[in-house]
Structure 1
Amino acid sequence: MIKTCVKNEGFEGIFLTGNGNKDKVLIVMSGSNGGMRVTKKCAEFYDKNGIPALALALFATKETQPFLDRVPVEYVENAIKWLKDKGYKKIGIDGMSKGSEMALVAASKFPEISCVIARVPSYFVSEGLIGKKNKKPSGTSCWSYHGEQLPFAPYKTKTFDVLKMLREKKEFYILPFNKDKDITPESLIKIESINAPILILSSKHDTVWPSYEYALHIENKLKEINYPYKYKHIAYNHLSHLLLTKLPFIYKLAFKSERKNMAACADERKNLSHELISWVYDVWE
């Protein structure tokens, strides 16, 4: 395990070497939870399956900004350079939720990325979030590049009463906050600029944002432009927004579908694991 820091390498991460092979490596990112706990778990999954993986911090760690607000896309750019300097030949990226935004944005900008996995993705850049206990829209973009914030779709509501939604819905349900944003052409991620196979993973039971609709939008865009690389969209019927290969029990309590369909979710997670490994080993050339 290798730890990096923003001061020296331009990004903060935890690198796991897998089976030691330097043919392929994945940069892994999680979402609006921030920190490294979930991101590291995703990287460990790949590591255990022989695939080198870099868990990349986006925010809310010792060396990154506290909130999901104008996070530098340079973190990915610097990670790519660091991995290339270490001799890794093919570099892929796997992002979940807000991390999928960063993954797709980075893949559209950096041709070195030759494999993309977008879990519960968005096809546009959203407004950032600030605050710890009660998050609220930042008035600025989630992401920045060369000191300039990326164009974004703002939230229509400026306050999120998550506790009220929990009481009413008996689960973590913030879908209304994430619907009907004013998506402008400028805020769209340039999917057409990506030069890599794309695996899209969505949930029909997503109570955080409409990832199934968003994933269909990406899929339709790829069809429309006759995308020259392989792509696949898998929509899960029972899994929650947290498309993790192993979900901690505490998170299962937060989502009705996870509680009510435990056996089905377990089967879908087995499929998720299979699809991820198959995409990296068999599809990514």
Structure 2
Amino acid sequence: MDVVEQELTHPWEGVLAAPAHGSDVGLLVLAGSSGRIERERTRILAQQGIAALSIRWFGGPGQPPGICEISLETFTAAVDFLAARGARRIGILGVSKGAEAAVLTAVYDPRVDVVIALSPTSRVWCNVGPGHDGEQRPYRSSWSWRGQPLPFVPMDDSWTPIDPGSGPVAIRGWYELSEQSFAHLLPMAEIPVEKARADLLLIAGGDDAMWPSLPFAEQLAERRRSAGASVHLIARHDAGHRPRLPGESPAPASPHFLYGGTPEADLLLGEAAWPHILDRLVSMAPPGF
């Protein structure tokens, strides 16, 4: 399928990859704390008949340098963008902090039809990096809505890596300790995913070394099921934080963090999820697609 790519500079940096003949399906694609624009992922999705938009949602012009009180209106504006270009079915695909943003956006914006959350969290966490003021402490929420920060869980800075050294570290234990230390804050920080009208597809690896995304995904699924809302969870216990979709390049190693899993397991998880992703986006497109 012929794909056309359009570079964007306003209202955010980004790229729109779409079939040359157009599409009734629009998908916002969000990276995690890398902050990158997901060019390869949007291209692969566009080859399946989807208009895929990836934006830089922090660290760009006029944006906070870190994930600190990011306005969820950043993402509802992207929904506006896709709808204005003819999308009649709209989804958001995000990984890690991008999955956190995706689920929250669907809670507040009923126009979102489907959320595909890779390595998600079930609660709102504190900032990762500095805000507009350049400060990282005291901890603040990662997100805001209509000018108000969302309740969040801070990090317990007493945590130290199990094997402190000069190499990359696994920080899952930091999140697990913080849940214990701030247990009284967890109820307010839980994402009310049952309020989202969107269909929810969760994809998580049990060997995630960044945060416990599989337990988080199971918590999200339970909230949805308890409310009678649709949800589907796809998991592999040997996969890590970065599932790879068919056709994507292997995820690069990081000098800072361990992500868990193996390239083979991460690819197998992505392959298992792929038909479910396409089913929710392409196969369920409105008449006329």
TM-score, normalised relative to structure 1? 0.83
User: Runs of 4+ in structure 1 displaced over 6 angstroms?
Assistant: 158-163
Q: Distance in 1 between matches of 2:43 and 2:9?
A: 19
1:281 aligns with 2:282: yes
Shift of 1:128: 0.3
- Equivalence for 1:88: 87
1:257 aligns with 2:261: yes
Would the aligned equivalents of 1:130 and 1:138 in 2 still touch at CA under 8 Å?
Answer: no
Root-mean-square deviation (Å): 2.7
With a CA cutoff of 8 Å and minimum separation of 6, indicate the structure with the bigger relative contact order.
Answer: 2
For the residue of structure 2 that corresponds to 1:104, the secondary structure is helix
Identity rate, percent:
22
Q: Distance in 1 between matches of 2:205 and 2:285?
A: 23
Over residues 36-94 of structure 1, what are the superposed CA-to-partner deviations in whole Å (9 max), with x where a residue is unaligned?
A: 2xx22322221122211110221123453211111111111111122222222111111
Would the aligned equivalents of 1:199 and 1:231 in 2 still touch at CA under 8 Å?
Answer: yes
Which runs of no fewer than 5 residues in structure 2 stay unpaired? none
Which runs of no fewer than 5 residues in structure 1 stay unpaired? none
Would the aligned equivalents of 2:175 and 2:211 in 1 still touch at CA under 8 Å?
Answer: yes
Q: 1:282 to 1:126 in 2, by over 3 A?
A: same
Over residues 143-194 of structure 1, what are the superposed CA-to-partner deviations in whole Å (9 max), with x where a residue is unaligned?
A: 1122221111111127776992664xxx541111111422433212121210
Q: Distance in 2 between matches of 1:157 and 1:237?
A: 28
Shift of 1:219: 1.0
- Equivalence for 1:219: 221
Q: 1:192 to 1:257 in 2, by over 3 A?
A: closer
Q: Distance in 1 between matches of 2:224 and 2:278?
A: 23
- Equivalence for 2:143: 143
Q: 1:52 to 1:130 in 2, by over 3 A?
A: same
For the residue of structure 1 that corresponds to 2:90, the secondary structure is strand
Q: 1:282 to 1:85 in 2, by over 3 A?
A: closer
> Structure 1 stretch 202-211 or stretch 185-194: which is displaced more?
185-194
For the residue of structure 2 that corresponds to 1:53, the secondary structure is strand
Aligned partner of 2:234: which letter?
Answer: I
Aligned pairs for 1:66-81 within 5 A? 66-81=65-80
Give 1 or 2: higher helix fraction: 1
1:2 aligns with 2:3: no
Aligned partner of 1:79: which letter?
Answer: A
Specify which of 174, 178, 192 is matched with residue 177 of structure 1.
174
Over residues 106-138 of structure 1, what are the superposed CA-to-partner deviations in whole Å (9 max), with x where a residue is unaligned?
A: 00000110111111111111000226xxx9665
Aligned pairs for 1:66-215 within 5 A? 66-130=65-129, 139-157=139-157, 164=164, 167=167, 172-180=169-177, 181=179, 182=182, 183-215=185-217
